[in-house]
Amino acid sequence: EAGVAQSPRYKIIEKRQSVAFWCNPISGHATLYWYQQILGQGPKLLIQFQNNGVVDDSQLPKDRFSAERLKGVDSTLKIQPAKLEDSAVYLCASSLGVLGQSHQPQHFGDGTRLSIL
Amino acid sequence: KQEVTQIPAALSVPEGENLVLNCSFTDSAIYNLQWFRQDPGKGLTSLLLIQSSQREQTSGRLNASLDKSSGRSTLYIAASQPGDSATYLCAVRAPLRVRFGAGTRLTVKP
C-alpha cells in the first residue's frame, strides 16, 4: 500500500512569512495527526483529526497555526506568521482506527523540514 | 502534565551485543505503547505496538515489554547489527492524547 505522502520535503522562509504543508494519509485511514519535531527532541502532537473533526489540538499554537481536513482525507497545516522557533520537521501520520480502536498503529510520512531565516 | 522519558539518551555498543532501551511514562490509563525507529532525515518507522492488555510483543530480534503498573516499557534488541543504528522512540497513546519520548540514539559499531 502507498504510504503517507507529504509535501514539500523542504521549505525555507523568512520570519513573519506564511507557509503551508500538505499531507495525504494512507487510503481509508480515519485518523490523521500532525506533529512538530524540533532537532534532538521527540515529536510533539499538534493536532489530531478523526475523519474531518478535531480530536485533540491542545498543543497547537492557535494564534499562528491552523489545520484543516475538510473532506476527511488529505490535510493542510499552515503557519502565519512564522517565527524563528518554528524551525522544525513537521510530520504527518495516519492510523486506521478511530477512537476506541486502540490496536491500530500510526504510520508516518517523511516530513517537511522547515527552516526560518 | 503527562510525561514520557527515555533513558539513556544515547548508547554505543559493539556489534553482536544484546541491549535494552527504556521508556517510562506517567499516564495511568493508556491505550497502547508503540516503539519506532527514526533514521536521519526520515520519518518514523513502526517497530512494535503493545496494547494496554498485553505484556509483550516480539518481531524478529526485537522484543518489547509493557508494565502499566510501574509505567515502564523496554525494547530489547538481540544480537545488534550496524544497521540497527538509529534513534529509537516510544509513544504512549492515552485517551485523546499521544505523547512521545525524546528518543535514544543508538550506535552499533562494527
What is the 3-class SS of chain A, one letter each residue?
CCCCEEECCEEEECCCCCEEEEEECCCCCCEEEEEEECCCCCCEEEEEEECCEEEECCCCCCCCEEEECCCCCCEEEEECCCCHHHCEEEEEEEECCCCCCCCCCCEECCCEEEEEC
Smallest CA–CA separation between B65 and chain A, in Å?
A: 16
- Chain B residues inside the 8 Å CB shell of A91: 43-44
- Per the CB < 8 Å rule, is B44 touching A41? no
Residue A100 has pLDDT above 70, yes or no: no
Concatenate the DSSP letters of all residues of B26-67 into one string. Answer: --SS-SEEEEEEE-TTS-EEEEEEEETT-SEEEETTEEEEEE
Q: What is the mean pLDDT of chain A?
A: 91
Which residue in this structure is represented by grid cell 518554528?
A86
**Nearest Cα to B56, choosing from B47, B48, B65?**
B65
Q: What is the mean pLDDT of residues B45-58?
A: 93
- Cβ distance B44 to A91 less than 8 Å, yes or no, reads yes
Contact predicate B15/B82, CB 8 Å = yes
**Contact B43/A105, CB-based, under 8 Å?**
no
Q: For residues B12 and A1, what is the distance between their CA atoms, to the nearest angstrom?
A: 35
Interchain proximity B103–A42, CB inside 8 Å:
yes
Taking contacts as CB-CB distances below 8 angstroms, the residues of chain A near B91 are 42-43, 106
Question: B36 contacts in A (CB within 8 Å)?
Answer: 108
What's the rounded mean pLDDT across residues A61-74?
92
> What does the DSSP 8-state code read for residue B79?
S
Q: Is A25 on the interface with B (CB under 8 A)?
A: no
Closest Cα in chain B to A46: B98
Does A99 score more than 60 pLDDT? no
Average per-residue pLDDT for chain B = 93
pLDDT at A105: 84
Q: Quick one: what percent of chain A has pLDDT higher than 70?
A: 94
Tens-digit pLDDT profile for residues B1-40: 668 999 999 999 999 999 999 999 998 788 899 999 999 8
Contact map slice: A 58-87 vs B, CB within 8 A: none
By a Cβ cutoff of 8 Å, what residues of chain B touch chain A?
A: 4, 6, 31-32, 34, 36, 41-46, 49, 51-52, 89, 91, 93, 96-103
In angstroms, the CA A10 to CA A6 distance is: 10
- For A110, residues 6+ apart whose C-beta sits below 8 A from its C-beta are A6, A9, B41, B42, B43
Q: Report the distance separating Cα A6 and Cα A23, nearest Å.
A: 5
Under the banding of pLDDT at 50, 70 and 90, the label for residue A44 is: very high
Our CA-based measurement puts residue A15 at a distance from the nearest CA of chain B, in whole angstroms, of 23
Task: Report the pLDDT averaged over residues B72-76.
Answer: 97
What pLDDT, on the 0 to 100 scale, is given for residue A72? 81
Per-residue pLDDT tens digits for B84-99: 999 999 999 887 778 9
Asked if residue B60 lies in contact with residue B47, where contact means CB atoms within 8 angstroms, the answer is no
Distance of residue B81 Cα from the nearest chain A Cα, in angstroms: 23
Residue A29 or residue A1, greater confidence: A29
Cis peptide bond N-terminal to B8, omega within 30: yes
| Mean pLDDT, residues B50-75 | 95
Using a CB-CB cut-off of 8 Å, the residues of chain A touching B93 are 102
